[in-house]
Structure 1
């Protein structure tokens, strides 16, 4: 596993996501500074030594310069080769091309394999 994967993900998100992001933890960030702070804290703390992985599920181009990318993946804990169910996600990426470069104005993810609690159950 690549120990620099978290740092690369952090740089990508901070360089490309300019508006907002939603993640598995209850979290909302608006703007590059807030996203950078969240990622720096996460990869220095609970996600230290992990690797983020994913694969495209679908790409829907809305125009020549915009689209929605759907992915599935998650967080690989150190020493793992498969994403555990509790770390699996499906993500939506809003992509736009500005000045010839693709950017991510919004990103959201949610658990991919965990079941919702039964109505009236404990979350």
Structure 2
């Protein structure tokens, strides 16, 4: 196991997953957002479990049309660790910002663990788990 070196092809490709998902979120595009997830990915949020790209896409499309309309998602990638050449463990501090927010409010940040795997040369999210970040 090794920590990914910033600027390497894998590190850049993994961080591009977050950029693409962030762009899709800002556009309110549930299908484009879910495209960054593996077909059988799992998302765990407090009180919610989503199973598979189809459910993730449908749930996010509905949320973008309602509660998440006009929001954006930000991620501070803290670590990228290659568990194998085709599996990465990523830790971020993330937040969902309202339309008028430029920075997360106190208590708004989440600690997130992501598992990404390479599928036919493309990095996709296999698992996502978030919880409130400490302080």
Alignment match, 1:95:
116
Alignment match, 1:23:
45
Deviation at 1:67, TM superposition (A): 1.2
The 2-side partners of 1:111 and 1:75 are apart by 12
Aligned length: 111
Deviation at 1:16, TM superposition (A): 2.6
3-state SS of 1:61 partner: strand
| Unaligned runs of at least 5 residues, structure 2 | 1-22
2:74 to 27, 36, 53: 53
Return the index of the structure with the highest Cα Rg.
1
* TM-score normalised over the length of structure 1: 0.78
The 1-side partners of 2:119 and 2:43 are apart by 19
User: Displaced runs of 4+ in structure 1, greater than 6 A?
Assistant: none
| Unaligned runs of at least 5 residues, structure 1 | 115-123
Deviation at 1:101, TM superposition (A): 0.9
Are 2:103 and 1:68 equivalent residues in the alignment? no
Query: What RMSD over aligned residues (CA atoms) do the two structures have, in Å?
Result: 2.2
